[in-house]
Amino acid sequence: MGKKVGAEYLGERKYRFRVWSPFAEKVQVILKDSRKVVDMKKDERGYWEAEVNNLSQGTFYKIRLDEEEEYPDPASRSQPEGVHSWSEIPNSSYTFEASGWKGRAIDEMVIYELHVGTFTPQGTFTAIINKLNHLAELGVNTLELMPVSQFPGDRNWGYDGVYPYAPQGSYGGEQGLKELIDTCHQRGFSVLLDVVYNHLGPEGNYLSQFGPYFTDKYHTPWGSALNFDDEYADEVRNFFIQNALMWLEEYRFDGLRLDAVHEIIDRGAKHFLKELSQEVDALEQKTGCRYMLIAESDLNDTRLIRAYRNGGYGLEGQWVDDFHHSLHTILTGEGAGYYKDFGKMEYLAKTFRQAFVYDGIYSTFRKRSVGNSPLCLPKTQFVVSIQNHDQVGNRLLGERLSKLVSFEKQKLAVGMLFTAPYVPMLFMGEEFGETRPFQYFVSHGDKDLVKAVQEGRKKEFEYFHHGKEGGHTDPQAEETFKSSKIDWDYKKDTSKITLFEFYRELLRLRKEGAFRLFASSQVKTEFNEEKKWLRITSEEEGGSLFGLFNFGDEVTSWNPSETSQVEILFASADKKWGGPGTFENLWNPDDGIPAGSFVIFKF
């Protein structure tokens, strides 16, 4: 177990301050109110520490290096005055009520991704509590919070965080976050946190002043890579591993979503992700709780989730972009950028069977072969979605699926999501067809940085503009943030109510095991590229499950060869779901499957 960093409470108003700065000659803690200066002692690994008596919660402090510059603590737990100001010893006295909560396995999860600042009008942790009834009624059981580590200003996606240990002050800080997690557990919800261990934001990032947290050996889209395998890397790795353990043990998150792990560059004998996984395993033994680590990666590499004994990193799950891209391109006809690698019914069928389309085959967009086979792994280790913050927010105008396709095709997409044998994830508001955009927004204080971000976003869409000219929104403008907030007056719109009920019913059927046979390794798929239909069949002794998904513009017929009666389990085009048809319990071959709809049969 590595050393904890930051300000740690030792009891009886005593705190230990510890910071890593291997090249400094002298390091001191500066207390704001008293201007007291406390010298720290250095160990052989470059850690400086000091114990200070008679301190109270709410004390402000900084770290002074070599009797010159003063900086916030890199492991600050609270930055109430912003990223450039004093660190604070927060109120850590919260008492958790859900003491018996032990977590849930990934294969039991139905995940709901949300951005704290735009999910509610208030944009706080505690305001989310008021929406738990809605989420319970919907049928999800796991919340996934986009990054909440302290960032510049009061609006940001969270991927520009610069204090990994400090929950964003404008969201409610430590107390608000702990109350949210505790209440969720009391209500039966798991809570995951999106964490960023591949870079830090540019504004307020003082890590380099303290030591070699970054390396020029490698470069990422955000600049120099974090130092996970160069000289002094052990302490950098420890900084982020201790951060992960803090979220899990002290805040009681049920797991972490690890952002863009393909940009965590480590060529050492034990990859950072494997070390992290093993440390989390040890924490499970200590606490008796179950924690999930879920990676985002565009490499389609099963090494992330393979067991240690099979040369893997032992993570519990990973996102699958191929599922989203295959479905999105068929629904919308879009083919710019990385979407050019998709758009085939063949690929949609393949991703339903085995998650990865790119399992070692050649990618036209990347101009190389990508991925390896996932067939040896449980399908419940893969997380899929039809919308998420990346695929909505990184569009030119941040349009959701509800603005891109018809109501019927929205339901068709939902049918694919909930009948597929993977862990489903929803993006906030999609359950009632939210039409407000989700756009990229920041509130930087550095004018040059603001200009760079504005120009960078424009450049990003030079090749991937989704067929639209102009219309760029300003990430710095407050209106961009406000327009991305969820509109909770959806019950004024009957189609939105219908869509919500549609989601809820499909989730109910899923939880009851209605689509279980589609998870079989013996599942079969057929498709027609011209007419754009997909058939899915799975059989076992005692029954069969059959799905027909019609992505085309014409009615598709199906006349079963079986002499027995075929029962309709679910039909998206039924009038009760706002569709054009009426479907009885038993299938009538004369009816056909309307364009942009699906029917699930059992016989």
DSSP state of 303: G
Fold of 517-602: Immunoglobulin-like (2.60.40)
Map residue 432 onto helix, strand or coil. helix
Cβ atoms of 248 and 241 closer than 8 Å: no
Cα torsion angle, 370, 371, 375, 379, sign:
negative
pLDDT in tens, 287-328: 999 999 999 999 999 999 999 999 999 999 999 999 999 999
Q: What confidence score (pLDDT) does residue 467 get?
A: 47
Q: What is the pLDDT of residue 466?
A: 47
Supply the pLDDT for residue 588.
84
- Which tokens go with 249? 């043990």
pLDDT for position 558: 86
For residue 562, the model assigns a pLDDT of: 63
pLDDT at site 529: 98
109-468+498-508 CATH, one of 3.40.50.2300, 3.40.190.10, 3.50.50.60, 3.20.20.80: 3.20.20.80
The CA distance from 502 to 496, in Å, is 10
CB atoms inside a 10 Å sphere around CB 504: 15
- Decide if 6-88 and 109-468+498-508 have a common fold: no
The β-bridge relationship of strands 382-385 and 423-427 is: parallel
Give the pLDDT score at 473.
87
Q: Would you say 226 and 213 are in contact if contact means Cβ atoms under 8 Å apart? A: yes
Where along the chain do its domains lie? 6-88, 109-468+498-508, 517-602
Which stretches of the chain score pLDDT less than 50?
466-467
Cite the active site residues: 259, 296
Overall pTM > 0.95: yes
6-88 homologous superfamily: Immunoglobulins (2.60.40.10)
Residue type, 195: V
**Contact call for residues 379 and 522 (beta carbons, < 8 A):** no
